Structure formats: structure tokens, C-alpha cells
Amino acid sequence: MINPRRPKHDHVISANSRVVRNINRAVILNSIREREPISRATIARLTKLNKSTVSSIVASLLEEDLITEEFEKISAVGRNPISLHLKRGLNLYGAISFDSAATRIAVVDVDGTLLYTDKITTEPRPADQFVGTCIEALLALRRTHRLPEFKGVGVSVAGIVDSLQGKVVFAPNLGWENVNVGGMLARAFPDVPVTSVENDAKASISRISSSSPSGAGSGRVS
């Protein structure tokens, strides 16, 4: 029996669905970060997302142990709402910001709080070697403070970045060209589910936009 070939556009639809869900996930997580304690109903009202979408994504965030919920005691008659809070101290992220003068390294909590930082003078050495030095400095921060595995690692670079491929295409101030930073991150953090490489200006804009309920938080180390 010949199985019919799956239409190519099915893959596009599936990919688009994942992108939309990831965006909605970031919007909901940022709403909790900015306005906690907050209920599912309030999230749906503020973000204009369907209540079923909010419930589904909140359920996955609870399962991932990123957030927690508790009953809020209020004096009004009726059902007490269940409010959502970020679960701090368990979900940590690594960050490296490459710049021509100095490279900054940090461990960040899920709410964006800088927990531990380090700074390395940026050196005119082969890019792969210097990136490796900075990755090791980030690992050293985690070992020194006996921290759990990171949930994600983000890198920002002053230059042209192909974020889909995790490559720095050209960073004139660093003297870098076609540097596969994403590949080095993947090898250094094989168990980390998310790694990202972004242009520093784009990362800064994303951080600014995270101050509104519709923003998806991501930022450079400063």
C-alpha cells in the first residue's frame, strides 16, 4: 500500500503553530512576571488571548515548574481566585554579552534578576578560543555557587547575527566573521533545552518591550 505524501504546506502550518504558541507562552509568562499575583482570567483579559489558550499554556508552565499557583483569600462573596506566581530560585539562565571593550557574563533568575556576574576584557584572539573562555567562565559561575543546570543560555553580540543558525555573520568591532557561537553553546550545554544568539541591539529592544504585557522578555547583560 502506498502512503500518500504529506503536503509540504502541512509542515509550514505545523511550524507556524509552534511559533504562535511560543509567542503566546512568552506573553503569558511575562504577564505573570510583571503583574504577579495574577489570575488566568486577568491574563486572558490583558493579553486578549482565548481563555482555553491561557489555561493550556499555564498548565504547561506549571508542569515545567516555572510557575506556582495559590488561592487568594478575599473578603468578597464568591469563589476565591487562583493566582499565579513565578517560581524563583529554581529556573536559572546563563547570559553572555560580547562587546569590543568588555564581555559580561551573568546568571539570571526567571524574573530577570541578575544573581551572579563576571566581566572579562575582550581580547583580540581567535574567536572560537575567546568564546570558549567566556563559556568556561559562565560554567565556573555555576560551579562556584553550586547552581542547578541552566534552563537556557542566551548570547548577545554587537554585529550581524543569523539567530536561526546561531551564527555571528560579521562583527567588525570584534573582528569576527562566520563564527558558530550556537554550535559551541550546544556542545558546552548539551542538556540545556534553549540556547539563543542575538544581535545586541535587538536583544535590548526585546528587553525594553518586556515591560508591557505583550512583550516577550529577553535582554543583554549590562
Q: What is the pLDDT of residue 15?
A: 54
Where do the structural domains in the chain lie, given as residue ranges? 8-86, 92-209
> From its phi and psi, is residue 10 left (phi > 0), alpha (psi between -120 and 50) or beta?
alpha
Grid coordinates given for 162: 543569523
Q: Is the pTM of this model over 0.75?
A: no
Q: What is the pLDDT of residue 212?
A: 31
Read off the DSSP letter of residue 63.
H
Q: Under CATH, what is the fold of the domain 8-86?
A: Arc Repressor Mutant, subunit A (1.10.10)
Assess if CATH 3.30.420.40 describes domain 92-209.
yes
Q: What is the pLDDT of residue 63?
A: 92
Q: What is the pLDDT of residue 211?
A: 34
Contacts of 15 (CB under 8 A, 6+ apart): none
Q: DSSP labels for 95-156?
A: EEEE-SSEEEEEEEETTS-EEEEEEEE--SS-HHHHHHHHHHHHHHHHHHTTPPPPSEEEEE
Contacts for 63-66 with beta carbons within 8 Å, 24 or more apart?
A: 65/90, 65/91, 66/29, 66/91, 66/110
Average pLDDT by consecutive 10-residue portion of the chain (222 residues)? Answer: 53 66 89 92 95 95 90 62 88 93 94 93 89 96 94 92 92 93 93 85 50 33 44
